[in-house]
Structure 1
Amino acid sequence: MWPPECGLQSVNKVNIDHARQTTHDLQEAITRQTAHDLQEAITRQTTHDLQEAITRQTTHDLQEAITRQTTHDLQEGITKAHHEHVVLR
């Protein structure tokens, strides 16, 4: 028969192998979850940053277009009023 220590060594080896596999599996799961969480966070932040940049640029472009159109309309109105005033004299 085997000495009792041999049985314990086998059990210990199985326990150690199981612990190693469990540790490996946990590390893989944590790595996958962390990578997933980081990708989600980066996507959210990037989307937010892009939305802010687009909003700023659109607002800027609209302000410029409104200013140009208003200036143009005012200049036309002034020119027309001046022309009508001169013609009426």
Structure 2
Amino acid sequence: MKLKVITVLLGTAGALAACGPAPTPQQQAARQHEIACLSGTLGGALIGGVIGNQFGGGSGRDILTAGGAVAGGAAGQRYAC
């Protein structure tokens, strides 16, 4: 259930981000860099959360999932940016 809500929120945010005037070439380059950073962060968080979810049980699994998502997000951002 939580994953579905997060997916819908991210999809809505992406759709709203597409609205607006055409950017200048400098703005376009900056936006592409921001998208690359965001993609790396979100991808790393997703992968880290999946890996963390494979371990533990009960509330320990939740803690490891959150920790994996944070660590994966940080690693993804460091790689992409």
Computing the radius of gyration over CA atoms, which structure comes out larger, 1 or 2?
1
Would you tell me which structure has more helix in proportion to its own residues?
1
Structure of higher RCO (CA pairs closer than 8 Å, 6+ residues apart):
2
TM-score over 0.5 (shorter chain):
no
TM-score (norm: length of structure 2): 0.39
